[in-house]
Amino acid sequence: MTKRSSLFCALAVVASIPFAYAQQIGTNATQGKDTTYTLSVNSQLVTENVVVKDKQGKFISGLTAKDFTVTEDGTPQTIRVFERESLPVDAAPLPLEDEENVRVYRRLGRTTFAAEDKTRSYKDRRLMAFYFDMTAMRPEDQVHALQAAEKFVHTQMTEVDLVSILRYQGGAVDVLLDFSADRNKILSILETMVVGEGQGSAEGIDDSSSADQGAAFGQDSSEFNIFNTDRQLSALQTAAHMLDQINEKKSLLYFSSGLRLNGNDNQAQLHATVDAAVKAGLSFWPIDARGLVAQAPLGDATQGSSGNSSMYSGAAAQATNDRLQQSQDTLYSLAADTGGKVFFDNNDLNAGIVRAQHAISDYYLIGYYTTNTAQNGHYRRIKITTPEKQDVSLEYRDGYYANKAFGKFNGIEKERQLEDALMLGDPITDLTIAMEINYFQLNRAEYFVPVTVKIPGRELALAKRFANEHTVIDFVCEIKDEMGLTISNLRDNVDVKLSDFSATELAKRPIEYSTGFTLLPGRYTIKFLARDDETGRIGTFQTVFVIPNLNKVTKQLPISSVVLSSQRVDNNQALYNTMRGKEQAKNDAANPLVNSAGKLIPSVTRVFRSDRNLEVFLQAYVGSASTANGTSSSVGNAPTSQQVAAYVSFYRNGEKVMDSQVVQGSTLPDSHLGTMPITVKIPLEQLQPGEYSCQVTVLAPANNRAAFWQGSIAIVR
């Protein structure tokens, strides 16, 4: 397979939510001294919440630590912590108090929970964290969620319940109230939360059910939504890390209006969030604040009519239903993978809270210091048994992922650990990575697939603050087919000089790394890792992508991916080319993004400045498939000459605001596919800042075929 790589600095904005958790275990000896030694040891306490029931489903009490055996990966462990937590589900609700004397308490607004100590004990207490995702709920849904929480605290909170309140908005998770049994304090925080907080960052929708934008065909605007979903999942991961220091069993009630993944683009962050919750002994109990949803087949008054053929084919109604199901499927996955239950399609949200309350009953808290001190991030399987009691059932987590410390190695160890990180089932998401994958047909069988990766410059700004003159970024990538076989891989690194930039400049300059592969049509999975060698931070991006077989496209004009860009660089001035000389020239010849004018750098985030020109690039293949009437458009090896015209339209709020000039394409010489590169350059200065729907239309009048592509872009000053 052919592949090529290069790295560039570009101007763009990418959201970054970094997390770093590492544990150091080892010994330190003072150099040059024979009599003085320092021993530093960090032990990892692993806790398990075990529910033991008999055949009738009743909890078995009176057991001691001697009644249990614990193994980790088959190795016996010594139980160091053992407690019974008594949490009756039929406890009487707290007595009502005089509401006239209710005080207004100040919200904490901090990012951690108080640790358990002698003055603050969580023993025999039910821990329930109310988590309000304000970015994922409409104002009316926020009202329903807050009212349900207030009703529970008013009428059904018992003396064994401790409630905390967390809020996610503005890219941060705030602890508004630590775990408390003070009902007045809890109600005060809930009643002073402002409805409408966090709005404006919800994902956009662009599918068959969307308002008419003047296009019959198109692709969705998932590139904008990827970062919203990743931020929401990262926030849940942050909450799990906050609660990790508390050993007792915990439930997080996640109030939202659904959480829709964008294909497989969020899989790495979803896995990391679930793994963090499992490791923390935390179960997610998602509650859909929308309640029972009854949608009109063609949408309600909150959006315009789709206005295209999807209204009559049923595609609009199907897209609306699919979108709802996808948003609920993600909530179901979060609950099922962490031991909780999802609650949706019910207007009584309070019932969902009570369901989570009753799920936590009596259990045994068992803790041990693991004998495996390796910080390799591998999965460790736990098995707990009661040898003397065979006719019982035990409920507990069956394993966890070990801590990861990939930044603590040098040389060969670093190389090995990076390869291990690629194979981990628990993705590392310390760095934010965005990716764009395109495809261009090379011949009847093969396609060139350029891959562009963007990393926020603020990650390098962190290294700059360490007073470093440079930092090395490692890249490792693996592509697998549907059968799980590795088709191609990549191992690369680049040395980024930091002395030329200040930390402030780096924070505004994302790093773009590009590479390319030659693949056959099919469905593939790509997993890409990047590591900053200076800080040891690793980021993971994984997704599924499909390369279509354009030879089978007959009704429409076959075209490649559409690349949107505002930057083209000279090949000789590329900052970090990993190939030189003949090898570089060979790979540049296969890359359609490289020509005599330089290399076109795709905009991964689709955010453009109004003072720069937008360059739209694609290829049309006028001789790669049969025409609409079934006859071939080529004679022998020379495709029939055709005229192809293309133009770009911009829509905002359902209205067309601008059309570009029409450009003509010219067939490449000696092209058996009739490959016709098309480039449209558009000045953006006349467009106001905001989001637009960008439609590319390609017409081939000779055989009455056309191709349409649509995506969303954002224009900023």
pLDDT at 303: 57
Indicate the residue type of 141. Answer: D
Last residue of a domain, which of 328, 361, 394? 361
Residue 715 corresponds to which tokens in the numbers above?
């224009």
Mean pLDDT within 474-499: 84
pLDDT at 382: 93
Domain for residue 423, yes or no? no
The answer, as to whether pTM is greater than 0.75, is no
Residue among 243, 110, 250 at smallest CA distance from 167: 110
55 and 14 inside one domain? no
Full residue range of the structural domain in which residue 442 is found:
3-18+430-716
Say whether pLDDT at 525 is over 70.
yes
Mean pLDDT within 516-543: 86
517 and 383 inside one domain? no
How far is the C-alpha of 142 from the C-alpha of 149, rounded, in Å? 11
Q: Which residue has the tokens 């077989």?
A: 549
Supply the CATH number for residue 613's domain.
2.60.40.3880
pLDDT at 266: 66
Residues 87, 90, 95, 99, Cα dihedral to 10°: 90
Distances 530 to 64, 454, 533, 535, 541 between C-alpha atoms, Å: 47, 10, 9, 12, 9
The contacts of residue 243 (CB under 8 Å, 6+ apart) are: 113, 129, 250, 252, 280, 282
Lowest-pLDDT choice from 237-246, 361-370, 453-462: 453-462
Mean pLDDT within 270-285: 88
Mean pLDDT within 48-57: 88
Q: Is 127 left (phi over 0), alpha (psi -120 to 50) or beta?
A: beta
Domain for residue 7, yes or no? yes
Domain for residue 130, yes or no? yes
Render pLDDT for 353-376 as a digit per residue (tens, 0 to 9): 999 988 888 899 999 989 988 877
Domain for residue 105, yes or no? no
Render pLDDT for 71-119 as a digit per residue (tens, 0 to 9): 999 999 999 889 998 887 766 677 666 555 555 665 665 556 766 665 5
Mean pLDDT within 319-345: 82
168 and 215 inside one domain? yes
Lowest-pLDDT choice from 24-33, 219-228, 388-397, 493-502: 24-33
* Distance between first and last Cα of the chain: 41
Q: Which of 116-120, 125-129, 686-690 has the highest mean pLDDT?
A: 125-129
> What is the layout of strands, in order, in the sheet containing 486-497?
486-497, 470-481, 522-532, 537-547
At 209, is the pLDDT very low, low, confident or very high (cuts 50, 70, 90)?
A: very low
Supply the CATH number for residue 342's domain.
3.40.50.410
509 and 626 inside one domain? yes
pLDDT at 689: 87
User: What angle is formed at CA 235 by the lines to CA 229 and CA 236, rounded to 5 degrees?
Assistant: 95
How far is the C-alpha of 247 from the C-alpha of 366, rounded, in Å? 10
Last residue of a domain, which of 326, 344, 361? 361
588 and 689 inside one domain? yes
At 220, is the pLDDT very low, low, confident or very high (cuts 50, 70, 90)?
A: very low
Say whether pLDDT at 67 is over 80.
yes
Render pLDDT for 403-428 as a digit per residue (tens, 0 to 9): 766 555 556 556 666 776 777 776 77
Q: How many domains does the chain have?
A: 3
pLDDT at 218: 25
pLDDT at 184: 87
Domain for residue 677, yes or no? yes
Last residue of a domain, which of 302, 335, 361? 361
At 546, is the pLDDT very low, low, confident or very high (cuts 50, 70, 90)?
A: very high
pLDDT at 71: 94
180 and 323 inside one domain? yes
Say whether pLDDT at 257 is over 60.
yes
Say whether pLDDT at 245 is over 70.
yes
pLDDT at 547: 93
Domain for residue 514, yes or no? yes
584 and 623 inside one domain? yes
83 and 128 inside one domain? no
Residue 114 corresponds to which tokens in the numbers above?
């108080």
Mean pLDDT over each residue of the chain, to the nearest integer: 76
138 and 243 inside one domain? yes
Domain for residue 113, yes or no? no
Residue 257 backbone phi and psi in degrees, to 5: -110, 45
- Give the CA radius of gyration of the chain: 29
389 and 351 inside one domain? no
pLDDT at 217: 27
Provide DSSP, 197-234.
Answer: TTTT-SPP--STTSPP-S-SS----HHHHHHHHHHHHH
Q: Which residues pair with 576 in a beta bridge?
A: 7
Residue 41 corresponds to which tokens in the numbers above?
């040891």
pLDDT at 299: 60
Residue 592 corresponds to which tokens in the numbers above?
């359609």
Domain for residue 29, yes or no? no
At 24, is the pLDDT very low, low, confident or very high (cuts 50, 70, 90)?
A: very low
338 and 383 inside one domain? no
373 and 352 inside one domain? no
Say whether pLDDT at 337 is over 80.
yes
pLDDT at 469: 67
pLDDT at 559: 92
DSSP conformational letter for 371: S
Better pLDDT: 596 or 698: 698
